[in-house]
Amino acid sequence: MMNLIYKEVKLSISLLFFILPFLLGLLMFLPNWIFTFVFMYFFWISAPQIYSAYIAQQDFSFSMMLPISKKEYVKSKIYALYIIECLHLFFGFLFGIIHNLIYGQSNLFFDVNIAFFGMILVLFTVFNILFLPLYFRSGYFFGKPVIYGIAATMIFGFIIEWSAIKYQWFRDIFEGPLLTQVIVAVVSIVITIIANVIALKKSVTNYESSL
Amino acid sequence: MNILEVKNISKQYDKFLLDNISFEIAKGYIMGFIGENGAGKTTTINSILNVIIRDSGSVTVFGKDMDEHELEIKANIGFVSGDSFYPKRHVKEVTDVYKRFYPAWDEEVYQSYLKKFNIDPSKKLDELSKGMKMKFCISLALSHKAELLILDEPTSGLDPVARDNLLEVFQSLVEEGEVSVLFSTHITSDLEKSADYITFIQDGKLIDSCSKDDLIDKYRLVSGTKEQLSSIQDKLISHKTNAFGFMGLINTSDIPGNTNIKFGQPSLDDIMIYYANKDKEAVQ
C-alpha cells in the first residue's frame, strides 16, 4: 500500500495540489469572512483537476502494469485524497489559530473555533461519501460525482453559515462554551470516521463489480 | 510446458460477446494474437490480467490459477500496451515508482537495457519516440525478470524501421527460451517475421490457434474467372469479384480435385481480411 501511495504522490497527483492547502489556508487571515469557503476550493479546484489528470496522464494504463489488486488501487487513491484533505485541515487550523490571535474569535459568520473545524470535517465527509462511491462506479468518469459532491457541500456550508447568522441557539451550541465545542468536534470526528469507512468500502465494492 | 493457458473465457457486453476463447503458449515462444480492430483482443488480454471480470472460463499462468494467485503471477508478467502514460514525467521518476512493486527488480539489468536501447533516463516520456517508449516499457518488464510478456498492440503507430527494430528485440528475448510473448496486433506482417504460433479471433470468436505455418497451410487463396466462381463459391470462406474474375479464401481441405482454378499460399493478412468479409456480400 505504501508503494501505491508513493506512486500517487510522486507520479499521479501534481505537487500543486499538496501546496494549495497552504496557499488556500492563507485565506484564513481575511477578517470577517465565510471561512467555509477556504475548504470549498478543494472541491471546486483540486478534486476535478486531480481526477481529470488521472485520465490525461493515462494513470490507469500504468497501474494495469503493476502487481496490485483492485482493492489496493481504490484504497490508495482514497488515501491520497485523505492526505490532501488533512493538509487543508491542518493549514486551515494552523492559520485559524493565528487569525484568532490577530482579530479575536468573533466573526459575523461561523466563528473560527473547535466546533467550526468539526463541521469542516463533516463537510469533507459529505463530499467523500457522495463523490467516492459514485466515482468508483467507473474509476474514470468524474463529472457527475464531482457535481453531486459540490452541490451537497454547498448546501451543507450554506446551512451552517446561515444558521450562525440567523439562529441564536446555533451560536449557543457551536460558538458556546469550550466543552460544548469539544463535544461537537468529537461527534464530528466519530461521524467522519464511520462515514469515511463506509465510503471506502462502498467504493471498493463498486469498483470491483464495475469492470 | 505451457506458460499461459486460457480456457473458454467469455465476457458479455451490451453489444459484444467474447465467446469461449481458448489458447495456450509454450515456454520460450512468441504467440501472435490477431484480429481486426474490435475483434476482442484487448478484452481477452484484460480478462487474462483480471482487469475485467470474466463471465466464465479460467486462466492459468506458470501453472497457477490467475484468480487465486493474481498478485504473485502479475509480479512475473510484463504487460506492455500501446498506451503512453505520464507524458510529463521523467524516465527515472517512473522507474523509481515502478521498481518498488517488484522485489525481483535488478538495477544492473535495467541499466544494461537503458544502455542497449539508448534511453536517456533524464528525458521526459513525451520526449521519447513511440518506439523508444515501447523499449522503455520492455526494459521495465525485463528488469523485474518477467517470464511472460503480454504486448497489446505494441507496434501500432510505429514506422516500419521502428517496428522492425522492436520485432528484433522480441525475437532476441525468446532466443534463450526463458521468456514467452503474447503479442496482440492487427499488423499481421509483424507476425510473419516474429511469431511461432498464431491465435486468430474474429468478432469475439476464436477462429484458430495453432502454429503460424499450420495456420497458413490450412487455407489457400483462390483466383479464377467469373464462370469458375459458381463451381466453387459455396466452399469459399469469402471472396471478392473484379473485372477479371474473383479472388477468395478456401480451406485447404475443401479444394476440389480436377480443376484448373489457381490456388496460392495466403498471408496472415489475407486470412484475416477474407474472414472479416465472411457472411458479408462479396465486395465488388
Share of chain B above pLDDT 90, in %: 12
pLDDT (0 to 100) of residue B280: 62
The residues, any chain, with a CB within 8 Å of residue B45's CB and separated by 6 or more, are B33, B150, B152, B182, B184
Mean pLDDT of B250-270: 81
Closest CA relative to residue A45, chosen from A60, A30, A27: A27
CA-based nearest distance B117→chain A, Å:
20
CA-based nearest distance A77→chain B, Å:
15
Please measure the distance between the N-terminal and C-terminal CA atoms of chain B and give it in whole angstroms. Answer: 47
Q: A93-102, B41-50, B147-156, B169-178: which has the minimum mean pLDDT?
A: B169-178
Mean pLDDT of A171-188: 90
Q: Quick check: B98 contacting A, CB < 8 Å?
A: yes
Q: B32-36, B84-88, B161-165: which has the minimum mean pLDDT?
A: B161-165
The residues, any chain, with a CB within 8 Å of residue B86's CB and separated by 6 or more, are A11, A57, A58, A59, A62, B93, B94, B125
Q: Do B98 and A65 touch (CB under 8 A)?
A: yes
Cα B64 to its chain centre, rounded Å, is 22
Residue type at position B130: K
Q: Considering only CB atoms, which chain A residues are within 8 Å of B142?
A: none
Largest CA distance in chain A: 57
Q: Considering only CB atoms, which chain B residues are within 8 Å of A69?
A: 70-71
H/E run at residue B134: helix B130-143
Mean pLDDT of A80-108: 92
Q: Is B21 exposed, middle or buried (0-12, 13-18, 19+ CB in 10 A)?
A: buried
Q: Do B93 and A10 touch (CB under 8 A)?
A: yes
Instruction: Give ∠ CA A129-A130-A132 in degrees, rounded to 5.
Output: 70
Helix B107-116 vs helix B130-143: crossing angle, to nearest 10: 160
Q: Do A66 and B93 touch (CB under 8 A)?
A: no
Q: Do B83 and A10 touch (CB under 8 A)?
A: no
CA distance A75 to A85: 15
Q: What is the 3-state secondary structure (H, E, C) of B46-77?
A: HHHCCCCCCCEEEEEECCEECCCCHHHHHCCE
Contact (CB, 8 A) for A119 and A174: yes
Closest CA relative to residue B199, chosen from B49, B34, B44: B34
pLDDT of B208 > 70? The answer is: yes
Q: Quick check: B15 contacting A, CB < 8 Å?
A: no
User: Residue ranges of the alpha helices (H) in A59-112?
Assistant: 59-64, 70-103
Q: A24-28, B10-14, B135-139, B189-193: which has the minimum mean pLDDT?
A: B189-193
CA-based nearest distance B269→chain A, Å:
29
Contact (CB, 8 A) for B171 and B191: no
Cell representation of residue B101? 512493486
Q: Do A10 and B51 touch (CB under 8 A)?
A: no
Q: Given pLDDT bands bounded at 50, 70 and 90, which one contains residue B247?
A: confident
For this complex, say whether ipTM is above 0.85. Answer: no
pLDDT of A150 > 90? The answer is: yes
Q: Is A205 exposed, middle or buried (0-12, 13-18, 19+ CB in 10 A)?
A: middle
pLDDT (0 to 100) of residue B282: 46
Q: Do B86 and A7 touch (CB under 8 A)?
A: no
CA distance B50 to B68: 11
Q: Considering only CB atoms, which chain A residues are within 8 Å of B137?
A: 65
CA-based nearest distance A72→chain B, Å:
11
The residues, any chain, with a CB within 8 Å of residue B250's CB and separated by 6 or more, are B219, B220, B222, B232, B235, B236, B237, B263
The residue written with cell numbers 534463450 in the block is B176
CA distance A75 to A87: 18
Residue type at position B263: F
| Per-position DSSP letters for B227-278, written without gaps between them | HHHHHHGGGEEEEEEETTEEEEEEEGGGPPSS---EEEPPPHHHHHHHHHTT
Chain B residues 53-92 with a CB less than 8 Å from chain A = 53, 70-72, 74-75, 77-81, 83-89
Mean of per-residue pLDDT scores for chain B: 85
CA distance B181 to B77: 10
Mean of per-residue pLDDT scores for chain A: 92
B5: β partners: B24, B60
Q: Do A11 and B94 touch (CB under 8 A)?
A: yes
- DSSP SS3 for B97: helix
Chain B residues 244-283 with a CB less than 8 Å from chain A = none
Q: Considering only CB atoms, which chain A residues are within 8 Å of B98?
A: 65-66
H/E run at residue B3: strand B2-12
Q: Quick check: B104 contacting A, CB < 8 Å?
A: no
Q: Do A11 and B53 touch (CB under 8 A)?
A: no
Q: Given pLDDT bands bounded at 50, 70 and 90, which one contains residue A117?
A: very high
pLDDT of B177 > 80? The answer is: no
pLDDT of B162 > 80? The answer is: no
pLDDT of B61 > 70? The answer is: yes
Contact (CB, 8 A) for B47 and B74: no
Q: A5-9, B56-60, B80-84, B279-283: which has the minimum mean pLDDT?
A: B279-283
